[in-house]
Amino acid sequence: MNKDDPQITSPMIIAHRGSSKESPENTLSAFQLAISQGADGIEGDFHLTKDKQVVCIHDSNTARVANTKLIVKNSTLAELKKLDVGYWFNSTFKNEKIPTLNEVLEILPSDKKLFLEIKSDPDIVPYLLSILIDSKINLNQLVIISFNSRILRTIKQQKPELKTLFLVSLKTFNRIKLSNFLVKKLLNKLEDISADGISTSISNFLNETYIHQFISKGYEYHLWTIDNEKIAEQFIKIGVNSITTNTPKIIKQIKYFQ
């Protein structure tokens, strides 16, 4: 609850790929920086390796963040661990390695969330679940997110305690297309896969009426990616559950969090 306006519940501020404006995305440095800046949680992208390890990297190959192109699903953890995924961002991050899911869980403080995005094929699910269960992490700290509704359905069937959010990009929708028809379609999808909510990109056409159609049906509404304080304030007033940002330091400075 916000002290200035008790009607407003402050959303969680989630660091997109860690504090990725100031450090190399999806690295332990980026996650630790976000936590030190007061983010309520971190968001990371996960893939399955050839030897069935779960690793944190956005793309399906390493070309953008390392000087060698390896396809993640065709490479072993040992091969991936040889790569430097920090130098491309800034030489001070030289020798940063691709983290495993376990390494990310190990640095997650008990009062912080991990928004765990599954980027790979559905065959990751059993490996991912067994890591989460063996890690003894409090399942309340985890939010499983994916653009793949089949993956979310399977996760919910196998581990109903895990919170799941269906990711939807609104980029291609204009005012007409972002219509009640789409809301209805998405509500049906959330029900079908037993998701706890939806997480959408921001859009010029996204407004309170639209968001409240989900909230009034009992679903959570989360948003990505907002780095601008004014835009963040606008959606805090609407009452979204979380805002994912590349710059948690800046968003945490706005008045609702002071």
Which residue ranges make up the site for ligand G3P (CB under 6 A)? 16, 43, 45, 58, 117, 145, 167, 199, 224, 244
33 binds, among ligand G3P, Ca ion, none (CB under 5 to 8 A by kind): none
Task: By CB under 5 A, tell whether 25 contacts Ca ion.
Answer: no
* Minimum separation from the CB atom of position 43 to ligand G3P (A): 5
* Minimum separation from the CB atom of position 26 to ligand G3P (A): 10
Q: What is the number of the residue whose Cβ is closest to Ca ion?
A: 117
Neighbours of 209 (CB within 10 A): 10
Task: By CB under 5 A, tell whether 45 contacts Ca ion.
Answer: yes
Neighbours of 207 (CB within 10 A): 14
Task: By CB under 5 A, tell whether 117 contacts Ca ion.
Answer: yes
* Minimum separation from the CB atom of position 4 to ligand G3P (A): 28
Residue with tokens 């007409």, as numbered in its chain = 176
120 binds, among ligand G3P, Ca ion, none (CB under 5 to 8 A by kind): none
Give yes or no: 58 in active site: yes
Q: Which of 47, 58, 212, 222 is catalytic?
A: 58
Task: By CB under 5 A, tell whether 96 contacts Ca ion.
Answer: no
C-beta closer to Ca ion: residue 11 or 44: 44
C-beta closer to ligand G3P: residue 46 or 256: 46
37 binds, among Ca ion, ligand G3P, none (CB under 5 to 8 A by kind): none
Q: What is the number of the residue whose Cβ is closest to ligand G3P?
A: 224
* Minimum separation from the CB atom of position 58 to Ca ion (A): 6
Neighbours of 251 (CB within 10 A): 28
C-beta closer to Ca ion: residue 163 or 256: 163
* Minimum separation from the CB atom of position 118 to ligand G3P (A): 10
Give yes or no: 222 in active site: no
The secondary structure of the chain as a DSSP string is --SS-TTPPPPEEEEETTTTTTS-TTSHHHHHHHHHTT-SEEEEEEEE-TTS-EEE-SSSBSTTTSSS--BGGGS-HHHHHTS-SSTTT-GGGTT--PPBHHHHHHH--TT-EEEEEE-S-GGGHHHHHHHHHHHT--GGGEEEEES-HHHHHHHHHH-TTSEEEEEE--TT--TTTSSHHHHHHHHHHHHHTT-SEEEEE--TT--HHHHHHHHTTT-EEEEE----HHHHHHHHHHT-SEEEES-HHHHTTSGGG-
Active site amino acids: 16, 58
Binding region for Ca ion (CB under 5 A): 45, 117
